[in-house]
Structure 1
Amino acid sequence: MTEVVTQLTAPARPIEVHDAAKRHIYHRQIRFADIDAHGHVNNARFLEYLEDARIALYLDYAGVLQEDRNGLPSVGVVIVRHEVGYRKPLKFRHGPVRIESWVTKINGASCEMAAEICSDEGVFLEARSTIAAVNPDTARPRRFTVLERAFLERYMP
């Protein structure tokens, strides 16, 4: 049954990267609370792992987060789409897993990022996310700045 589910949930487009040096690497420890009744990391927790990795990547660019007009941390981007392929179950372990992220496409006001949650044992999850730039005060779309675009290009193969 696992093979059938894996095939049905595979991303429609293969995720490829030619230069592993262009990947952002983030290590995430699995917590006992991440494990579900089946003994593996719950599928919803994987999205949190991807979020943690994106925040770490963004902080590499932005440093300390600015605040919006309500005093909340502001990053100036939003997720508009996730596409996830679960490859194999991830069970609790003492060591962390790696979340490797890279940019596959940059448009004027959005970009597409790919990611893998993996270890030396293989890939547990592949994901593709579309991220849109927004004005943090108005929540309206905006274009990436020259500096943001240059930063994202560092992670393109």
Structure 2
Amino acid sequence: MSETVSETTEATGTPYAARVALRWSDMDAYAHINNVQFLRLLEDARVIAFRDWFDGGGAGDKSLLDEGVLVSRHEIEYRRPLGFRHEPVEIQMWVSRVGGAGFDVAYIVTDPDGVEAPGGRNIYAVAETELALYDFADASPRRMRPEERASLQLHVGDPAPFRRRRR
């Protein structure tokens, strides 16, 4: 039975959706997108989202990406193989945790509208990234500012819907 997006995102509300193109070079010898390339897809989606979430949000003329944010952890669960195609994938994302000096982003990698399989959209991966705020100019970690917290709060949802969580 194939899972559909609505089955796994009911509790998170409406996630932000970014469309990310696949590259021919993302394919491996098994003719599907290599598992490591999924991290690039997630990064591309984060860059798209953060430009929308943080630019012009009262944090001055620098965006969060310009000032500094570092990946401190990834967790990814692969659900089904994704073969190369010309249509982009849709990466649905939301903030799953907000802390004092960082936050987590949850993702579902799926088909965009119009590329649906019988029974609903395919889910290719579920993931979560832990991000730490960093000041590139001072080369040091930093605390979250109130305006950044306010921007993140607009996108808060549940943790990533992993099938199995570490305890």
| Alignment TM-score, normalising by the size of structure 1 | 0.79
Unaligned runs of 5+ in 1: 1-14, 68-72
CA–CA distance in 1 between the matches of 2:130 and 2:145? 17
Name the residue aligned to 2:102: 110
Change (3 A) 1:84 1:48: same
* Candidates 59, 74, 83, aligned match of 1:82: 74
CA–CA distance in 1 between the matches of 2:150 and 2:18? 20
Name the residue aligned to 1:9: none
The CA deviation at 1:32 is 1.2
- Secondary structure of the 2:40 match is helix
| Aligned residue pairs, count | 136
Change (3 A) 1:141 1:79: same
Change (3 A) 1:51 1:17: farther
Task: Please state if 1:136 is matched with 2:136.
Answer: yes
The CA deviation at 1:16 is 6.0
The Cα offsets for residues 63-119 of structure 1, whole Å up to 9 and x where unpaired, read as: 6x849xxxxx72421110001111110001231110111111101111111111111
Task: Please state if 1:62 is matched with 2:55.
Answer: yes
Task: Please state if 1:91 is matched with 2:99.
Answer: no
Task: Please state if 1:150 is matched with 2:153.
Answer: no
Task: Please state if 1:28 is matched with 2:20.
Answer: yes
Contact 2:76/2:125 (CA < 8 Å) preserved in 1? Answer: yes
- Secondary structure of the 1:52 match is helix
The CA deviation at 1:17 is 5.9
- What amino acid does structure 1 have at the position aligned with 2:39? L
Percent identity of the aligned residues? 34
Could you list the structure 1 runs, at least 4 aligned residues long, displaced by more than 4 angstroms after superposition: none
Unaligned runs of 5+ in 2: 1-7, 158-167
- What amino acid does structure 1 have at the position aligned with 2:145? T
| Alignment TM-score, normalising by the size of structure 2 | 0.74
Name the residue aligned to 2:3: none
